[in-house]
A and B are shown apart, each in its own frame.
Chain A
């Protein structure tokens, strides 16, 4: 149907190694849950690992690494900008605790 887009593909071996790395990172996340770190540090570590996992899924499983750069530039900035806008309100959550009436 559309054989005109003959872009480069990854090999089965590449996909299997991505899969194993993703599983390993998940195990690391569970381990992080059980060593007693502060919530803030844990949140940063877990979100960092999750972003790496998401990046690997998007790049390899969803093939974005093998697509044209124009597609990447159309899709990702949209998500990044709107997510940053959602975070505009986030600092309020730290104040909300102190603004409560005492129980």
Chain B
């Protein structure tokens, strides 16, 4: 088998130009295309914001900014626990991997609960997708689209991690799957690194 592989040229599939599993390359390609979706949404948001002269700045220091900073902490911390889970999985420590994956999911769920609470507060204050009491109605549309799509990604990520943890525990999934799910999770963290300053920090209520 080995000789057969060597005799093939690169164009016949005899070489692995990226030296990674095909599923990992697939996840990377998905991440790049998803990154473009978020880029488009955030650039559209920035465009509308620059072109509006009555953009609302509704976020008080407490609760909005404090809570969104804690949410940033949750996601960043869940990223480091994900790194630990990947390391443990590569070393074949199943119990430790499942524990770290559980910690990662806890970070994601904490993020989701805090974010849902934040949404409810804003909705209670009168924010709707097409109107709000403060200024440009586009604020609600962009806020709910950008943060809603990101919340959807976090939710999917939590379910993916749960499925991967269950499969890895039973020995059905190899360690590569944990790493590939980890790529997705870090990407979700990465997107928040742009949403947080663009949406929250640029709309702080002046004292």
Per-residue 0/1 for B181-207: is the Cβ within 8 Å of any A Cβ (1 yes, 0 no)? Answer: 011001101100110111011101000
Known: A26-B196, A68-B18. A16 touches B80 (CB 8 A): yes
Q: Report yes or no: B18 in contact with A70, Cβ–Cβ below 8 A.
A: yes
Q: Report yes or no: B20 in contact with A87, Cβ–Cβ below 8 A.
A: no
Q: Is A65 an interface residue (CB 8 A)?
A: no
In chain A, positions 36-72 with a C-beta closer than 8 Å to chain B are 39, 42-43, 46-47, 49-50, 53-54, 57-58, 61-63, 67-68, 70-71
Interface size on A, residues (CB 8 A): 53
Interface size on B, residues (CB 8 A): 53
Closest to B201 in A: A33
In chain A, positions 72-96 with a C-beta closer than 8 Å to chain B are 74-75, 78-79, 82-83, 86-87, 89-90, 92-94, 96
Q: List 22 A-B contacts (CB under 8 A).
A: A2-B176, A19-B79, A23-B76, A26-B193, A32-B201, A33-B197, A33-B201, A39-B202, A42-B202, A47-B197, A50-B197, A57-B190, A63-B183, A67-B20, A70-B17, A75-B28, A78-B32, A79-B32, A79-B35, A86-B39, A93-B47, A97-B52
